[in-house]
Amino acid sequence: MVADSRKALSLREAGYPAVLYVPRADVDMAALSRTDHTTWCPYKGEASYYSIPAGGTAATNAVWSYEAPHDAVAAIRDHLAFYPDRVDAISLRDDATD
Burial of 77 (0-12, 13-18, 19+ CB in 10 A): middle
**Is 69 contained in some domain?**
yes
**What pLDDT, on a 0 to 100 scale, did the predictor assign at position 14?**
80
**How confident is the model over 22-45, as pLDDT tens digits?**
999 999 999 999 999 999 999 999
Domain of 61 in residue numbering reads as 9-86
**Is 94 contained in some domain?**
no
**What pLDDT, on a 0 to 100 scale, did the predictor assign at position 92?**
66
The total of structural domains in the chain comes to: 1
**Is 56 contained in some domain?**
yes
Q: Give pTM, 2 decimals.
A: 0.87
CATH code at 37? 2.170.150.40
